[in-house]
Amino acid sequence: MTTELVTALPVGIKMLPVKMDFKEYTICKPAPLATDEEAAIEREKCDYNYKITYQMARSGQTKRRVRVYADGIYDLFHQGHARQLMQAKNIFPNVYLIVGVCNDELTHRMKGRTVMNDQERYEALRHCRYVDEIVPDAPWTLSDEFIASNKIDFVAHDDIPYTGAGLEDIYAPLKAKGMFVATERTEGVSTSDIVARIVKDYDLYVRRNLARGYSAKDLNVSFLSEKKFRFQNKMDELKSRGRRELNKVKDDIITKWEEASRDFIDAFLLLFGRERLNHFWNESKGKLIQALSPPGSPSGSVNGDDVDDEDDFDCDDDDDADADFANVRIPVSAARSRAADSPTLRGNTGRGTSTTNVKVMPNQLHDNVDGGDDDDDDEGDYEHRSN
Q: What is the pLDDT of residues 316-347, one digit of tens each?
A: 554 554 444 444 455 555 555 555 555 544 44
- In this prediction, residue 90 has a pLDDT band, given cuts at 50, 70 and 90, of very high
Mean local confidence (pLDDT), 11-21: 71
Question: Which position has the higher pLDDT, 383 or 207?
Answer: 207
User: What pLDDT shows up at residue 203?
Assistant: 86
Between 282 and 77, the higher pLDDT residue: 77
- For the question of whether the overall pTM of this predicted structure is more than 0.85, the answer is no
* pLDDT at position 226: 78
Provide mean pLDDT across the span 263-278: 71
**Fold classification of 30-200 (topology level):** Rossmann fold (3.40.50)
* pLDDT top residue among 69 and 299: 69
Mean pLDDT of the chain: 77
Checking if the pLDDT of 212 tops 80, the result is yes
pLDDT at res. 283: 77
Average pLDDT over residues 261-290: 73
Q: Which long-range contacts (CB under 8 A, 24 or more apart) does 36-44 make?
A: 39/133, 42/96, 42/132, 42/133, 43/150, 43/151
Binning pLDDT at 50, 70 and 90, where does residue 310 land?
Answer: very low
Longest dimension (CA), the chain: 175
CATH 3.40.50.620 positions along the chain are 30-200
pLDDT at 353 over 50: no
Q: Which of 158-172, 205-219, 300-314 has the lowest mean pLDDT?
A: 300-314
Is a pLDDT exceeding 50 seen at residue 381?
no
Q: How confident is the model at residue 366, as a pLDDT?
A: 45
pLDDT at res. 371: 47
- Of all residues in the chain, the percent with pLDDT exceeding 70 is 70
pLDDT of residue 376: 46
**pLDDT of 251 strictly over 80:** no
Which pairing describes strands 382-384 and 329-331: parallel, antiparallel, or unpaired? antiparallel
15-24, 38-47, 114-123, 208-217 — which is least confidently predicted?
15-24
The Cα–Cα gap between 260 and 69 comes to 75
CA atoms within 13 A on the CB side of 377: 3
Mean pLDDT throughout 8-17? 64
**What gap in Å lies between CA 81 and CA 73, rounded to an integer?**
10
Which segment of 231-245, 286-300, 329-343 scores lowest on mean pLDDT? 329-343
Single-letter amino acid, residue 116: M
Band of residue 195 on the pLDDT scale cut at 50, 70, 90: very high
Residue-level pLDDT at 175: 93
